[in-house]
Amino acid sequence: MSVQSAAVLPAPRAPLAVIGTTVPEPASDEILVRVRTVAINPVDWVIQGTSRVTYRWLQTPAVLGSDVAGEVVAVGSAVTRFGVGQRVFGLATGTDRGRDPLREGAFQEYTVLLERLAAPIPDALSDEEAAVLPLGVSTAACALFQSAHLGLRMPTGETPQQRGGVVVVWGGSTSVGMNAVQLARAAGYDVVSTASPRNAATVSALGADAVIDYGSPTAVDELVAAVGGRPVVGAVALGAGSTDACIEILRRVGGTRLAMASTPVSLAGLVARRRLFPAMLPVFTRIGLTTVRSTLRARRAGIRAGFVWGSSLRDDEVGPALWGEVIPRALTDGSLRPMPEPLVVGEGLGDVQAALDRQRAGVSASKLVVRI
């Protein structure tokens, strides 16, 4: 049994601690990866600060982290797409219900990834660039392509003869949003989106034909105008306040599908509090009430609204299609650029906690990464 270092969450709400753990053995459908770079997602500090309420199944000690880039050091007996020594990136889903958060978490020297949720890193990409993708691109794909959400056709690599309609991406400058804009375009849909004015050009360059300032009081009117009477195949709601804005847009343009990825109220303030209880009571009450109100409003408007779980593609056909076909092809043909751009904020597992704190303080169109 080999020993490694891991940044573990020793208990709910405790700071990450770097300790010695056992290097996991890959199961038949897994690869063992020497982690070189990890990226930070909001869910990492959400779990750290609120798992007693939001991830009640999670046992500690746990290794957090979804985004991994590194090198294959061993493969399971049924693995066919990867070999030892290959550079690889993928989605770690260890904090999901029923998974093992010590085997499959990003923030450690060695982790296992499912073969079907990993892809080779093209020579032209650095580990830092590859690491920005996994949770962002996976969540975007769940929202766009799962039948429970927008149910759109996946990119095939061929230019579609006809545009497939418009996708509204509220939150186009988030990690998930930048991937949603690109995947929707690659699949043959037009995109209208939102961002702060400083990020509008970036989101346009990814393929959105209109990018509206989500802070503007007339943002909904402007997005409806940008749709310009084209058929709308659905909306992806990212960021606080995005759900109600998207419901109003869909109601006015006759769209019927909404994929929601964010809580209606940010949990950042709650995570910063010294104690979860009783501060959580008004926050979760507001989340609950807002969700019920939005769900009723959507139903009255004939909109099917559902909450996206970005790693749920592990268990359906979207995961293998995304990671086995779409991502490798789209990175090669340039229809998928690794976005947001990586910002290296640490070297080593000891820097991961500071990176989590920095992500929680807020980022703008950048992905924080730590080299391990």
Residues at the interface with ligand NAP (CB under 6 A): 41-43, 135-136, 139, 171, 173-176, 194-196, 199, 214, 238-242, 261-262, 308-310, 363-365
- What token pair was written down for 149? 């959400």
Closer of 17 and 268 to ligand NAP (Cβ) = 268
Rounded to the nearest whole angstrom, what is the least distance from the CB of residue 167 to ligand NAP in the complex?
15
Chain-centroid distance, C-alpha 297:
26
Rounded to the nearest whole angstrom, what is the least distance from the CB of residue 214 to ligand NAP in the complex?
5
Rounded to the nearest whole angstrom, what is the least distance from the CB of residue 78 to ligand NAP in the complex?
27
Closer of 78 and 201 to ligand NAP (Cβ) = 201
Buried-exposed string 151-183: b where 16+ CB fall within 10 A, e elsewhere: ebebbeeeeeeeeebbbbbbbbbbbbbbbbbbb
Which residues are registered as beta bridge partners of 180? none
Pairing of strands 366-371, 30-39: antiparallel
Closer of 32 and 46 to ligand NAP (Cβ) = 46
**Spatial distance between the Cα atoms of 360 and 270, rounded to a whole number of angstroms:** 11
Rounded to the nearest whole angstrom, what is the least distance from the CB of residue 360 to ligand NAP in the complex?
9
**Spatial distance between the Cα atoms of 127 and 33, rounded to a whole number of angstroms:** 13
Closer of 114 and 238 to ligand NAP (Cβ) = 238
> Helix count (H) and strand count (E) of the chain?
12, 16
The radius of gyration of the chain from alpha carbons, rounded to an integer in Å, stands at 20
From the number of C-beta atoms within 10 Å of its C-beta (0-12, 13-18, 19+), residue 29 rates as middle
Ranked by CB distance to ligand NAP, the top (closest) residue is: 239
DSSP 3-state of 51: helix
Rounded to the nearest whole angstrom, what is the least distance from the CB of residue 241 to ligand NAP in the complex?
5
Closer of 106 and 176 to ligand NAP (Cβ) = 176
Residues 58 and 106 sit within 8 Å (Cβ to Cβ): no
Closer of 166 and 238 to ligand NAP (Cβ) = 238
Rounded to the nearest whole angstrom, what is the least distance from the CB of residue 28 to ligand NAP in the complex?
27
Rounded to the nearest whole angstrom, what is the least distance from the CB of residue 362 to ligand NAP in the complex?
7
Closer of 120 and 264 to ligand NAP (Cβ) = 264
Q: What sign results for the dihedral spanned by CA atoms 145, 147, 148, 151?
A: positive
Closer of 72 and 352 to ligand NAP (Cβ) = 352
CB atoms < 10 A from the CB of 189, how many? Answer: 25
Rounded to the nearest whole angstrom, what is the least distance from the CB of residue 292 to ligand NAP in the complex?
18
